[in-house]
Structure 1
Amino acid sequence: MAAIGSFVALEWPPLLRRIVLTLLLAFVAVRFIRAVAMLLFGVARAGSGTSDETPTAVPATDETARPFWIPRVNLMAGFLLFGWAVASLMPGIGFSIDVARVVALLCGLGMLAVAVEIVWRRPGSAATAVRQSLLTLYLIALWLVWVAGLLGVLWLGLYVLLLPAVVRGVGSVAQAFVGRAQRSGALGIVGNVLIVRGARAAVIGAAVAWLAYLWRIRAAALAGSKTGELVISGLLNGIIVLLVADLLWQMAKALIAYRMALSPAAGSNAGDVARDGRLRTLLPIFRNALAVFIAVVTVLTILSGLGIQIAPLIAGAGIFGVAIGFGSQTLVKDILSGVFYMLDDAFRVGEYIQSGSYKGTVESFSLRSVRLRHHRGPIFTVPFGALGAIQNMSRDWVMDKMALSITYDSDVDLARKLIKKIGQELAADPEFAADTIEPLKMQGVDSFGDSGIDIRMKLMTKPGTQFGIKRRAFMMIKKAFDDNGIKLAVPTVHVAGGGDNAAAAQQLLKMKQAAN
């Protein structure tokens, strides 16, 4: 700043003013690049300290990284900017163009030497010698392309080499910034995605825009016709369209994931819980449909940018769609059935359902099928069109009815009182109180069986909790019946016969045994 102030305050001769201004601008640019590099190291270090999973733009945790990279960044910037400044000034102070080109070539050789040295001595590099050798040859080839004046090819080669690393680095810095900001809520989620993906898209977009500027200048010469220029322009514009589509998709996907991760607030009524469950069920289908829509619009936009008439394609797609509709009626049936199942709120993610021979917990949906996880582990992928009638076992409440058989000499009234007492104890148990809607009780005598009196009991609980309560109830009933002399009936066979005949048969058997 002091140098700039002195330059502005003093009166300079025109030639000297031009020389000083050019060199001063180069110096300021080098210092600015150094400051940006230092800032990136600081942000990356802060980001790596906040989360173990946040990738850093530079290896900030390595103590040798900072002393290695900062001087080499300065050298690269110095060779580039001061070389440009000196080469541009030399023709104005009496040097020939050839001498200026030699200076530019020497500065380019300096940049090449620094780049090759970075390839072979970069700290923490796991690259093999073969890979390092190939990368060195690639850098030499780029230098030769620059010498030949093929700037469009040069920039394309630089993009292939540097753009992935730059995109990752910018994304890491943006991710570190987002992690430090700690935004929450839907707007925060959108903002975070917009910052991270937008930063990456901005880098790629700027690179594509610069490449488009260079290629549009030379497209006619390279392609030899306006068609080549149109194709090149369409391809570059298509990359921008892809970046915008990716940004929109990532924002939509993050919002949907955020909404699906939300759970109903404590104290929410049953209606709110039901609406939340239905929304969580429909969102995956909406996400898949949105992905297809964005992909189709993106492809059509890119084709339109390439000069292809998309109106016939849309018309042909309509006719083709009708033909496909006739040929894939089952698929259409599955998709439409799924839509109506969702509109009827027949089941939701996390509920246990049964349809025919298929039963299990609903895990996820697609456009045409539902995935059911059986309680023993297997997964059923069932098309919506094959579901038919649905038995939902996870809604509102469950009435579980049980049966017992006691002997005819047992006191039925005492059994009823014991069962009622057990039901009250289970309803008061902290383990089962929250899940019990109506306590266990005896409904009465159901029938008189061959071996005993059949009695019926019922229990109303929340869905899925009846099994544990029923197992505990059976244990308590067995113990209470044993303590009070009530016997559970078991199958028995009664043999009837006359007393005299039996005695005679026994006497005859003894005589035969004595004779033997």
Structure 2
Amino acid sequence: MMEMPVELMDRRLAEISQHVEAVIAAIPRLPQEGTRAEGLIERDFGGYSVPQAILFFALFIMVGIAAEWLYRSAMWRPKLWLATFPIQRIADRLIGILATFGYGFGAWIAFLVGSHAVFLALPLPPLMRQFLLGYLIVASCVRGAMILLDCLLVPSGDETPLAKFRVTPISPEAARFWRNRLALAVGWFLFGWVTVHLLALLEFSLDARRAIAYALGLGLLAIAIEVIWKRPKPAAGSASSRRIRPRALQWLWTFYAVVLWGLWIAGMMPLLWFLLVATILPMAISISRRATAHVMRPPESSPVETSSFSVATACAERSIQAGLILSAILIIAWAWDVDLIAMTSGETMTMRLIRGALNAVLVLLAADFLWHIVGTVIDVKLDENKPPPHASDEEIGRSARLRTLLPILRNILLVTFIIVAVLMALSALGLEIGPLIAGAGVLGVAVGFGAQTVVKDIISGMFYLFDDAFRVGDYIQSGSHKGTVESFSLRSVRLRHQRGPIYTVPFGELGAVENMSRDWVIDKSVINVTYDTDLEQVRKIIKDIGRQLKENPEFAPKIIDTLKMQGVQEFGDYAIQIRMKLTTKPGEQFVIRRRAFAMIKMAFEEKGIRFATPTVQVAEGKHSVAAAAQQSLSIERAAADPA
């Protein structure tokens, strides 16, 4: 019969209470068990005392350190090569980092060989041998952790030659802090773990060993609290340095560390490991991303890198992230006593759910990996297809077309990846996606009828893009909407008007599109001159101005066919209308036309040519004019007389 939640919780609390009481009851028995352990040591250490065992251990460590020193002395040439190795490419930095890790690994192997060789050479009693081997393994792991942290963090400072191979982007002070604290935490944890297991050889009871383990756990708690309160601040000016870290947050982390220690004492190991993984995993992912970006950054001597390294950066970042997530899953499975191998053949409901959840996680990780690779390739193509400053019209057009189509392709691929990943994840969970797909098809038809306008917009946009009707950067006009194309979505286009406003126009409402940014523009204008003007002289002046514009280095690249006079447009009521024509690149006609008008005015003034303006002439008899003048004088006199 299945237990009710209240009954399950009550039973679990009773188990925790019983566990804690057993540990507390074992504390008074520790002196008695310690006395019994001393007797076992005197009997089974073969006449050796504990201080002598400590001297043997110190001898092993000293020999290991001496062997490591000899290795480093003999390998001075590779170290000098690393110090002088130039970084001209990203590949050079990767080679240097791998060589640094190889050099450190060799030093660790030298320490292992030196320390363990002496241990194996000495004839020691079995019990003493087990104790010394356990603590020697602890020392070897701590030394390996220190060497690994030295390779990752390079805590010796930025002035050292190997600082250029630092993997994590932190300051030397922060590197020294984290190197010391992490090595101390690893050493203390391994020391406590080995000590508790070796105490079983001295016939300590399980509860007594747990009490000693919890007491040693206070050391880990102290290290964690010291890190929380004394961790170095980020470098000034960095993004993380601008984050607010109030004291309340430090107290919150301290309380969290105490809660984890309390869960350990209570024996709630599954919850403890789950909280640890949930805390450490986001930090590890964030650190791995920053480290990957730091390692894969372009060298100063070679700022231009091929796109393959951008794709390689995305591959490395997502591979590390996937590895961290899978490692977290394995740790949680181990903490919860989940047999992943047996789960593959288990047919119970729980096993099927867990197996489906793991398969779904793998599918989502694979989809995330593929999407970031594809997205990175598209982003690299967008960056590579920016036209150079003096690009030809064909290059500019090709670049604009790619900058128009690639973002839309990226959005379509994103939606496709999401739909396929969700369907595959649901299938991995054991759900039948066939009816779901069929239902989605029916729902799609219903939505299509209800959202015909949206469907019309999307399909119209596809045809506009296939026809290459406009691109990003083109100036277009459609009905009452006009402006420069800034961006697209699946159903609309954003137009920036020359005065600043933005129009978001659905593709279905565009209709006929007038593109004013393709190939060339013919600008026609008309000027009015008086009837007594020498038209041949005007033609020569305009021709000369066209020649000057063509020779101007500012306007020459923008002019396709320079300014010309086309002849007399018509004879007006008060002027002769002369028509001119200018062919330029799209959008450049306005500036050139303004300069041409200014030059024409100056040239006409020098030659005495007058622009025609409308005038009104009044012609009447002499008596009428005299009467009007007399009437005007009378009005002025009346206004001047104050009476």
Scaled by the length of structure 2, the TM-score of the pair is: 0.72
Judging changes above 3 Å, is the alpha-carbon distance between structure 1 residues 232 and 196 closer, same or farther for their aligned structure 2 residues?
same
Q: Quote the offset at 1:80 in angstroms.
A: 1.0
Counterpart of 2:266 in structure 1 is 148
Counterpart of 1:22 in structure 2 is 134
- Partner SS, residue 145 of structure 1: helix
**How do 1:103-142 and structure 2 match up within 5 A?**
103-124=212-233, 127-142=245-260
Cα distance in 2 between the residues matched to 1:335 and 1:279:
19
Cα distance in 2 between the residues matched to 1:455 and 1:425:
20
State the one-letter code of the partner of 1:243: L
Residues 212 and 233, structure 1, Cα contact 8 Å, conserved in 2:
no
Cα distance in 2 between the residues matched to 1:33 and 1:394:
63
Residues 360 and 425, structure 2, Cα contact 8 Å, conserved in 1:
yes
Counterpart of 2:36 in structure 1 is none
Q: Quote the offset at 1:291 in angstroms.
A: 0.8
State the one-letter code of the partner of 1:342: L
Scaled by the length of structure 1, the TM-score of the pair is: 0.88
Q: Quote the offset at 1:87 in angstroms.
A: 1.4
Where structure 1 has 5 or more consecutive residues not aligned to the other structure, the ranges are 50-54
Aligned equivalent of 1:246, options 368, 374, 378 = 368
Counterpart of 2:527 in structure 1 is 404
Judging changes above 3 Å, is the alpha-carbon distance between structure 1 residues 44 and 159 closer, same or farther for their aligned structure 2 residues?
farther
Q: Quote the offset at 1:67 in angstroms.
A: 4.8
Q: Quote the offset at 1:469 in angstroms.
A: 0.6
Cα distance in 2 between the residues matched to 1:488 and 1:267:
40
Cα distance in 2 between the residues matched to 1:264 and 1:415:
41
Residues 370 and 384, structure 1, Cα contact 8 Å, conserved in 2:
yes
- Does 2:553 align with 1:435? no
Counterpart of 1:78 in structure 2 is 187
Cα distance in 2 between the residues matched to 1:14 and 1:243:
49
- Partner SS, residue 138 of structure 2: helix
Cα distance in 1 between the residues matched to 2:387 and 2:374:
21
State the one-letter code of the partner of 1:7: F
Partner deviation per Cα, 1:404-441 (whole Å, 9 max, x = no partner): 01000111111011001100011001111111111101
| Aligned residues with identical type, % of pairs | 45
State the one-letter code of the partner of 1:504: H
Residues 44 and 57, structure 1, Cα contact 8 Å, conserved in 2:
no
Counterpart of 2:118 in structure 1 is 6
Cα distance in 2 between the residues matched to 1:44 and 1:365:
51
Cα distance in 1 between the residues matched to 2:206 and 2:317:
45
Residues 44 and 58, structure 1, Cα contact 8 Å, conserved in 2:
no
Partner deviation per Cα, 1:71-93 (whole Å, 9 max, x = no partner): 33233112211111121122234
Cα distance in 2 between the residues matched to 1:30 and 1:377:
64
- Partner SS, residue 487 of structure 1: coil
Counterpart of 2:307 in structure 1 is 186
Cα distance in 2 between the residues matched to 1:366 and 1:405:
48
Counterpart of 1:52 in structure 2 is none
State the one-letter code of the partner of 1:397: W
Aligned equivalent of 1:60, options 138, 161, 171 = 171
Cα distance in 2 between the residues matched to 1:268 and 1:377:
27
- Does 2:230 align with 1:96? no
Counterpart of 2:426 in structure 1 is 303
Aligned equivalent of 1:170, options 288, 291, 308 = 288
Q: Quote the offset at 1:226 in angstroms.
A: 4.1
Cα distance in 1 between the residues matched to 2:260 and 2:377:
43
Cα distance in 2 between the residues matched to 1:337 and 1:77:
63
Residues 216 and 233, structure 1, Cα contact 8 Å, conserved in 2:
no
Moved more, 306-315 or 284-293: 306-315
Q: Quote the offset at 1:234 in angstroms.
A: 3.8
Counterpart of 1:259 in structure 2 is 381
Counterpart of 1:289 in structure 2 is 412
Counterpart of 1:464 in structure 2 is 587
Moved more, 87-96 or 14-23: 14-23
State the one-letter code of the partner of 2:280: L
Cα distance in 2 between the residues matched to 1:45 and 1:447:
84
Residues 355 and 389, structure 1, Cα contact 8 Å, conserved in 2:
yes
Moved more, 259-268 or 422-431: 259-268
Cα distance in 1 between the residues matched to 2:394 and 2:379:
22
Judging changes above 3 Å, is the alpha-carbon distance between structure 1 residues 80 and 264 closer, same or farther for their aligned structure 2 residues?
same
Compute the RMSD of aligned alpha carbons. 3.0
Counterpart of 1:198 in structure 2 is 319
Cα distance in 2 between the residues matched to 1:509 and 1:376:
52
Judging changes above 3 Å, is the alpha-carbon distance between structure 1 residues 218 and 201 closer, same or farther for their aligned structure 2 residues?
closer
Q: Quote the offset at 1:344 in angstroms.
A: 0.6
Cα distance in 2 between the residues matched to 1:21 and 1:507:
135
